[in-house]
Structure 1
């Protein structure tokens, strides 16, 4: 298992993203970037994997493939994909698509999250036009989902293709120090 997928360019990029985007707090969560509004940390893995291998890699890392549960989650994830350094992506046929924890491998009519929830019940179920329809169980059909930097929804794609992927992990609670107000002495 590769423990560090970050190159020399990725660390400055993460620091840059921490200062640019709202609701991002950088913590020592093994390279994860935390969305403060959800308390979830996200990490893009640049060494491309098939969807099943990406799923297993995130578990080995102590997390799971990322699943957007709200529009805010999706936009946060998409901003990270937009800001990733594409030359660092290795072994991918289509660098802009990043695997998420959504598939219809068990039944082509039902998209589920990595946790086994029906995507319709998970909260975020927006697809790019023409995606997510599921026509058959044939392996020629796309049965896994990802996100790209531009389109405003999930994209279906072929699970056997090697893509970068995004893991998520719950952020550790942070003890915030109590600040004294400037006016405390009044």
Structure 2
């Protein structure tokens, strides 16, 4: 693996661009096996984008896409940015099959050190723009996303004193949604869909 970096000054401060070249065994005749991975996923191993995603830690789920469980807890905003820099998005459950796949992925991590809740992972939905109106990172109403299963008593927008309410969505290990504060640190799941 070969890493390069470029530092560039701007009005906002310094920006660091990291580039990695990963050598993947050729997929077949005429394949170079070289993939450059930066802020965007590039084709590799004979045009197989899936191979490049797997190098980045994404796991394929047949018929759905590629998923990566991030066990280093971040805030919802940090999780959103991390997925974006991986040319992905925070996961949004669109079907019972996808919920089952994410449950299995989460079960592989029975404990998550440093997480505010050990039983939850951030998902790609919030009611940050309009209280009580949950929208996915795709700007689709959550109830129209194909899957909506709230944990009992949720959403409850529970606030503590002067703290803000709960505007971000997390998923339990049973793939039930509940609302949480956006600034707590949780693990999260990024996804790259097959259709996009």
Same fold (TM over 0.5): yes
The structure whose RCO (Cα within 8 Å, separation 6+) is larger is 1
Structure 2: gaps of 5 or more residues: 1-15, 20-49
Q: Which structure would you say has the larger Rg?
A: 2
Superposed CA RMSD in Å reads 2.6
Structure 2 match to 1:67: 92
Distance 2:129 2:158 in 1: 13
Structure in which a larger fraction of residues adopt strand = 2
Structure 1: gaps of 5 or more residues: 4-25, 173-186
1:81 paired with 2:106, answer yes
Runs of 4+ more than 6 Å apart: none
Distance 1:146 1:27 in 2: 29
Structure in which a larger fraction of residues adopt helix = 1
Distance 1:27 1:129 in 2: 40
Calculate the TM-score normalised by the size of structure 2: 0.65
1:156 paired with 2:179, answer yes
Q: How many residues get paired? A: 145
Structure 2 match to 1:51: 76
Of residues 37, 41, 46 in structure 1, which corresponds to 2:63? 37
Of residues 113, 123, 131 in structure 1, which corresponds to 2:154? 131
Give the SS at the match of 1:140: coil
1:101 paired with 2:127, answer no
